């Protein structure tokens, strides 16, 4: 009987041919893919490298005036509350609320008819007492009057003179006059109204062009000397004003741990009114070696603030104005308007991307369209 089962050698041979065919197919496909990749690389290389154009700032160290900002209140250098010393009925009002008044101008009169009548009677009595004293003095010269009669007449005259002065003072207290040139407050008084003693009649605010500015500084800032200038700004002010510190509280307030200061300012332009609240900027020190950059130069991430330094691209031999963006962490101490103060991370002469820095990333090719200094950048941003 003949054996027809497949030979092991033939099976191995068939599997070997199959594997060889697979390897050949894979090699052919890999070669085709490699050629495609090479063509793609060559095609991409035919395009210019991605780049961005920016305005750059040359970092230059400068000084920074440390400024502490607080709130201050404007006060009049002269202000009084006008109150009546005695009660009475109003017979005359000599001002309108908000008017400017002159020194000694009568502002209010109370009914003083009774006191005037008593004053006239006292004057008549005083005249009679004076005549009596003269007669006794003549009789005394002729030994016809005793010293007791003369002393009694002199005492009567002195009492009447004192009563006359008291009545005149009482009448004067019922006339309220302005003590200095001022502007009056609004009031609701009416002629015929009865008012008690110590009623507020009006407030007198001096018309001087000078005003006081009162503000507080915390304990760690409260070493500002007399004569220091402070800067004032606020809503409604046409321009910022300077004020000079003229006095300070002798001790730190135990409750707030602040020291009170008073500055004098010139309000010739009438841009401020007493009682106004303003922003006060006080210079507390100077730091040298800081860098001022436009705020557009600083970028921020979860790791902090950074800028892009522009380093010359030595691999680009076609253009000497090509740079590479290099990310540089910096320490931003303060922002002042369109400027930022950087204390760490920069060196003198560093070229920093400013306008257009938001387009950059690490290693990107950069073209500088304009190169300026920080001072020129500040001047360009001023209106």
User: Would 357 be classed as within a structural domain?
Assistant: yes
Structural domain containing residue 189: 79-204
Q: Are residue 153 and residue 116 in the same domain, yes or no? A: yes
CA distance 102 to 184: 11
Q: Are residue 109 and residue 196 in the same domain, yes or no? A: yes
* 44 — pLDDT class (breaks 50, 70, 90): low
CA distance 57 to 372: 5
Residue range 104-158, pLDDT digits in tens? 999 999 999 999 999 999 999 999 989 988 888 878 766 667 878 788 888 988 9
For residue 308, what is the domain's CATH number? Answer: 2.40.420.20
For residue 146, what is the domain's CATH number? Answer: 2.40.50.100
Q: Are residue 73 and residue 218 in the same domain, yes or no? A: yes
User: Would 44 be classed as within a structural domain?
Assistant: no
The mean pLDDT value for 353-377 works out to 82
CB count within 10 Å of CB 18 equals: 10
Q: Are residue 168 and residue 216 in the same domain, yes or no? A: no
Q: Tell me how many domains the chain contains.
A: 3
pLDDT exceeds 60 at position 380: no
Q: What is the pLDDT of residue 138?
A: 78
| Percent with pLDDT over 70 in the chain | 89
Q: Are residue 270 and residue 213 in the same domain, yes or no? A: yes
pLDDT exceeds 70 at position 169: yes
Residue range 247-269, pLDDT digits in tens? 999 999 999 999 999 999 998 87
User: Would 12 be classed as within a structural domain?
Assistant: no
């Amino acid at each position: 009987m003949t054996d027809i089962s497949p030979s092991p050698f033939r099976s191995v041979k068939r599997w070997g041919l199959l594997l060889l065919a697979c390897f050949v197919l894979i090699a052919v496909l890999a070669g085709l893919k490699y050629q495609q990749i090479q063509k793609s690389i060559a095609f991409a290389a035919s395009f210019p490298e991605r780049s961005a154009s920016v305005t750059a700032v040359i970092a230059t160290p400068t000084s920074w005036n440390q400024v502490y900002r607080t709130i201050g209140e404007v006060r009049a250098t002269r202000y009084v509350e006008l109150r009546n010393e005695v009660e009475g009925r109003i017979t005359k009002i000599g001002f309108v609320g908000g008017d400017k008044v002159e020194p000694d101008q009568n502002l209010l009169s109370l009914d003083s008819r009774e006191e005037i009548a008593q004053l006239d009677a006292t004057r008549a009595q005083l005249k009679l007492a004076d005549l009596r004293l003269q007669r006794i003095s003549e009789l005394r010269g002729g030994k016809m009057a005793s010293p007791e009669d003369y002393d009694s007449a002199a005492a009567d005259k002195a009492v009447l003179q004192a009563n006359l002065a008291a009545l005149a003072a009482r009448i004067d207290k019922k006339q309220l006059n302005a003590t200095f040139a001022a502007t009056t407050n609004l009031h609701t008084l009416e002629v015929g109204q009865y008012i008690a003693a110590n009623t507020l009649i009006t407030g007198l605010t001096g018309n001087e062009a000078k005003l006081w500015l009162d503000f507080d500084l915390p304990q760690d800032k409260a070493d500002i000397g007399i004569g220091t200038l402070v800067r004032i700004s606020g809503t409604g002010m046409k321009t910022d004003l300077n004020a000079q510190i003229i006095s300070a509280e002798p001790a730190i307030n135990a409750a707030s741990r602040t020291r009170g200061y008073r500055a004098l300012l010139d309000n010739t332009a009438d841009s401020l009114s007493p009682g106004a609240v303003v922003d006060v900027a006080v210079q507390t020190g100077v730091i040298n070696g800081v860098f001022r950059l436009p705020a557009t130069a600083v970028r921020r991430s979860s790791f902090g603030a950074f800028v892009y330094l522009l380093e010359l691209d030595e691999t680009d031999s076609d253009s000497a104005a090509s740079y590479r963006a290099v990310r540089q962490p910096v320490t931003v101490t303060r922002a002042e308007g369109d400027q930022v103060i950087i204390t760490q991370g920069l060196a003198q002469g560093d070229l920093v991307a400013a306008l257009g820095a938001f387009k950059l990333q690490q290693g990107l090719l950069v073209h500088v369209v304009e190169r300026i200094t920080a001072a020129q950048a500040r001047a360009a941003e001023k209106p």
